[in-house]
Amino acid sequence: MKTFNLIGCVKTHYEKLKERNEEARRKKIIKSAEERIQVREYMSELHICIDGVPIAKADDFRKPFNEVLSDMRTLFAMVHY
């Protein structure tokens, strides 16, 4: 019976360890997103930026999604080329 209890304790320990690791990973991802994805001014307009690169105008999100995507790609190309 002691062996079964020991196995249960080990299993519980590894489950808790897994939960802590997953929570730490989740917090790291959230912190990275907060640092990398921001709103900044570019060409006198507010833009959603990733790593400082403007991706979309803040006002674009009032338009249909396919137009927003097209505008994002155009803006991305303008900044990089």
pTM, two decimal places: 0.59
Average pLDDT, the chain: 84
User: 13-31 pLDDT, tens per residue?
Assistant: 999 999 999 999 989 988 8
Q: Do residues 52 and 35 make contact, with C-beta atoms less than 8 angstroms apart?
A: no
Length of the chain: 81
Q: What local confidence, expressed as pLDDT, does residue 7 receive?
A: 85
Residue 17 dihedral angles phi and psi, to the nearest 5°: -60, -45
What percentage of the chain has pLDDT greater than the value 90? 16
Amino acid 17: pLDDT:
95
Left (φ > 0), alpha (ψ -120 to 50) or beta: where does 44 sit? left
Q: How confident is the model at residue 59 (pLDDT cuts 50, 70, 90)?
A: confident
